[in-house]
Structure 1
Amino acid sequence: MGHVIQTESGYNVFAEDIGTGIPVVFLHGWPVSHKMFEYQMNELPKHGFRFIGIDLLGFGKSDKPWNSYTYDMQAEAVHHVVAFLGLEHFVLAGFSMGGPIAIRYMNKYGLAKVDKLLLMAAAAPVFTQRDAYPFGMKKEEADDMIKQIQADRPNALQDFGDMFFAQEHSNPFKQWFFHLGLEASGHGTIQAMEALRDEDLRDELAQISTLTYIFHGQKDEICPFDFAKEITGGIVNSTVIPFADSGHGLMFDEKEKFNQELLRVLQS
């Protein structure tokens, strides 16, 4: 079942809602949509979990306003979906850009509602390098990505997709994944990258005491494995689950292991 939920700011946010049982809310990465979690959507309802996939503002079937792509605005959108669906005790799972948005949501709205936090190849606590944080790409590299998107968005997304996986995948699969990115708005794609480039959540990690699991590929070229180490160093009640043969797209590179580990932590 699909829901269209209006936020306080007047934007419509789409959420896919499948199955019954304990809700697991998924936040996708840049620049795709909830459809990237197809292989989790296929499995979780079989095991008594309710899959809820939110399309962030600017992506998938959600509204694509001219601005509003900060982590605060995206966390507000998640908050309105959670309120509309009446969720009280649920699991929050954020992938890549969805990771820092999940952290921001936790600290603004979710500490009393979320029973477990899953951060998957999270672009957190900071996506780009800065003082005392030598991890990830340089801000100038993010600026170059923005320029490439402005010049030729399909080609830029194709190049980004080439960095996404450590394992070989079929051409039809890669085309499917590529087209998920094309469903986003151009301006939303750019402004979400600006948020990734600029926002810093290092001071927000210590506020989270929720049981947290950090899924991360050790061959990740987009959000290096150092990110996972930084997150677990900041969130006290956290555990890293490494994926030795995965790049950024760990739920595709090691699909069976990912789903097994996901079900294990959900059932624990």
Structure 2
Amino acid sequence: MGYFVNVEPGVNLYVEDLNPGGSKTIVFIHGWPLSHKQFEYQFDFLPAQGYRCIGIDWRGFGNSDKPINGYNYDRLADDIRTVVGVLQLNNVTLVGHSTGGSIAIRYMSRFNGYGVSKLVLVDAAAPVGFTPETANKFLHDTLNDRPKMIQEVTDTFFFQYITGPFADWFFQMGLQAAGWSTAAIIVLLRDEKLYADLQKILVPTLIVHGIHDKVIPFAQAQELNQQIKNSQLVPFQYSGHGLFWEERDKFNQLLTQFIG
């Protein structure tokens, strides 16, 4: 089922809550510029295995409200904390993809991992995001021809072949975001760093990353593995930035094994 959670006056986040009676809960935080719908091929599988799956659209993206302000790691982490509190979640596995991985890292450090027993970082945009050159190009294109920018992101996202209809679906997901929020996250990825957060993550952490990732280099996953205590890194040999789809069976099985 889907519903909205109020995170501040005038701002409501959309939450997709599948199998609320599940024995163990997984909270998914999507990547930029997408929505919870990117995890469709996890939501197809995991609830049927008995897991409760919660997908949260960040402010500015998907079905959530799209305010002008609030696009920094602290505010985005605060939004997740509010959802966790309102839903009274505890002992959850927090899964973050790309920028969602960065938000998850800030959540863990800012709130001492409140309610989270395990962390999964998927192609995380951390400890740094975009280079200034990449960010400035994305920013220019977003403010002048956002559909073209999203198409370019789609074209570099996957290592494996994607069909035309799949590319169209992915493209439309990106267009669902607001232009201003899309641009604000580019600035965030350019300007904010997460080095100081990594030492504060104390829960078991699974790091998965496509070795062919053209968006966030695999070397960053290796750095996260070195800096985060009690972490393990699993390379995905046949994936780019979208291993949640490209090697979905492997990812889904690995996730269930990690959660236990």
1:132-152 deviations in Å (ceiling 9; x for gaps): xxxxxx202211111011111
Tell me which of 224, 246, 249 is aligned to 1:231. Answer: 224
* Aligned mates of 1:34, 1:89 — CA distance in 2: 21
**More off after superposition, 106-115 vs 138-147:** 106-115
Query: Aligned AA for 2:184?
Result: Q
1:28-76 deviations in Å (ceiling 9; x for gaps): 0000000000010111111111000000010001110012111111111
Match in the other structure for 1:94 = 96
1:200-226 deviations in Å (ceiling 9; x for gaps): 001110111110000100000001101
Tell me which of 141, 145, 150 is aligned to 2:143. Answer: 150
Match in the other structure for 2:122 = 120
Normalised TM-score (structure 1): 0.94
Structure 1: any 5+ residue segments left out of the alignment? 129-137
- The Cα of 1:9 is off from its aligned counterpart by 4.8
Normalised TM-score (structure 2): 0.97
* Aligned mates of 1:209, 1:24 — CA distance in 2: 18
Match in the other structure for 1:135 = none
* Aligned mates of 2:44, 2:86 — CA distance in 1: 24
User: What secondary structure, in the 3-state scheme, does the structure 1 residue paired with 2:208 have?
Assistant: strand
1:96-138 deviations in Å (ceiling 9; x for gaps): 000010011111225242110000000011113xxxxxxxxx2
* Aligned mates of 1:112, 1:14 — CA distance in 2: 21
Structure 2: any 5+ residue segments left out of the alignment? none
Query: Aligned AA for 1:202?
Result: Y
Tell me which of 36, 47, 50 is aligned to 1:48. Answer: 50
Query: Aligned AA for 2:15?
Result: A
1:204-215 to 2 correspondences below 5 Å: 204-215=197-208
Instruction: Using the aligned pairs only, state the percent identity.
Output: 45
**More off after superposition, 155-164 vs 101-110:** 101-110
Query: Aligned AA for 1:16?
Result: E
* Aligned mates of 2:134, 2:18 — CA distance in 1: 38
1:188-199 to 2 correspondences below 5 Å: 188-199=181-192
Tell me which of 193, 206, 209 is aligned to 1:200. Answer: 193
Aligned length: 258
Match in the other structure for 2:5 = 5
* Aligned mates of 1:182, 1:196 — CA distance in 2: 19
* Aligned mates of 2:93, 2:3 — CA distance in 1: 19
Contact 2:206 2:231 in 1 (8 A): yes
- The Cα of 1:156 is off from its aligned counterpart by 0.7
Contact 2:42 2:248 in 1 (8 A): no
User: What secondary structure, in the 3-state scheme, does the structure 1 residue paired with 2:76 have?
Assistant: helix
* Aligned mates of 2:10, 2:169 — CA distance in 1: 31
Tell me which of 242, 249, 252 is aligned to 2:245. Answer: 252
* Aligned mates of 1:9, 1:21 — CA distance in 2: 33
* Aligned mates of 1:102, 1:69 — CA distance in 2: 14
